[in-house]
Structure 1
Amino acid sequence: MVNISKTKRNFIGLHTLFAILSAAIGAVILHFALPGHYFGGYPFIPVYFYLFGLFSIYMFDACRLHAPQRMLLLYLAIKMVKMILSIILVLIYCLAVREEAKAFLLTFISFYLIYLIFETWFFFSFEVNRKLKKKNKKKNETVA
């Protein structure tokens, strides 16, 4: 059996569900609400954000095990890397496929913001739960 933490398993499960739902909803919106705006590069966007999310959770898990005091620094570094890599990818795509540039850019920015909110919510709730558990553990130790 592969050793995987509960938090990592929860994030991967929620992240996978979120990726499937956001990709499907995005495709439906582009096909029906904005007919004619679906573009060939659309599937790349949800896949990019899904893979980057998996990379992030593996990095956070490794940091949690080996250098927990650097978790905030890693969080900020990953956000910067994601932003820089996203800008590079958007520029390359928009230069390579000019006729789809506007639709791609607007869709990519929408996914970027949606994933930013999702990941922030997940890690914020994770930190709140971690602090509550730590507080309860200290409380139980002083009672015993």
Structure 2
Amino acid sequence: MYLKTVKKKFIEELTVASIVLTAGMGLIFHFVIPTWYFVWFPIIPVFFYLFGFLYIFMFAFGYELGTDKIAMTYLICKVLKLILSALILVSYGFVIKEDVVAFVAAFVFYYFAFLVFETRFFLRFEAKLKLSKQVKNEKNTVHSIDAAAVVGNSDNDAEGGDRR
């Protein structure tokens, strides 16, 4: 249940971030540097939006394997994103060959913006996960039978007449 909530929140934030970044870049291309606008611009936000979906589902898969696998899943996704991004940039440069500088500049901007977004989101998730583990561990140690035996069972002390 918790994982569904995290996935939903991530997708909502991903959608908002994609819309805001695309609108912002569209305005910049329209008003500030209209000569830099290129036909293939819409492919950039689509790539990062779709990769965000892959990212959250890979993360959910890593979470289901165990919470100790989350960091490895995060790193695998980052490396995969870097490799796919490099392939897209190189392919665009060799195949399309139009407005390469504008494409690379926009792509790098999106890459770093989504890097910050994803990192911030998963750092918050990891912090909440650690906090919930600490709370769970504290409940186990405070309310466990072993802790009561060490501290002393107040019912036995009262029945035995041991009143200090």
Name the TM-score, length of structure 1 as normaliser: 0.91
Question: Could you say which structure has the larger radius of gyration?
Answer: 2
Matches for 1:47-126 after TM superposition, within 5 Å: 47-126=46-125
Q: What displacement does 1:143 show?
A: 3.8
Task: Report the TM-score, using the length of structure 2 for normalisation.
Answer: 0.81
SS in 1 for 2:113: helix
Counterpart-to-counterpart distance in 2, 1:35 and 1:89: 23
Quote the Cα distance in structure 2 between the aligned partners of 1:138 and 1:117. 31
Task: Name the counterpart of 1:24.
Answer: 23
Instruction: Give ranges in structure 2 of 5+ residues lacking alignment.
Output: 144-164
Corresponding position: 1:140 with 2:148:
no
| CA displacement at 1:4 relative to structure 2 | 6.2
* Deviations 1:13-46, CA, capped at 9 Å, x for gaps: 1111111111111111111111221111110000
Unaligned runs of 5+ in 1: none
Amino acid at match of 1:120: T
Question: How many residues are aligned here?
Answer: 142
Question: 2-side partners of 1:46 and 1:133: how far apart?
Answer: 34
Report the AA paired with residue 131 of structure 2.
Answer: L
State the percentage of identical aligned residues.
36
Q: Name the CA distance, whole Å, in 2 between partners of 1:41 and 1:79.
A: 24
* SS of corresponding position for 1:99: coil
Once the two structures are TM-superposed, the CA of residue 61 in structure 1 deviates from its matched residue by 0.5
- 67-76 or 105-114, larger mean C-alpha shift: 67-76
Aligned-partner Cα distance in 1 for 2:127–2:35: 44
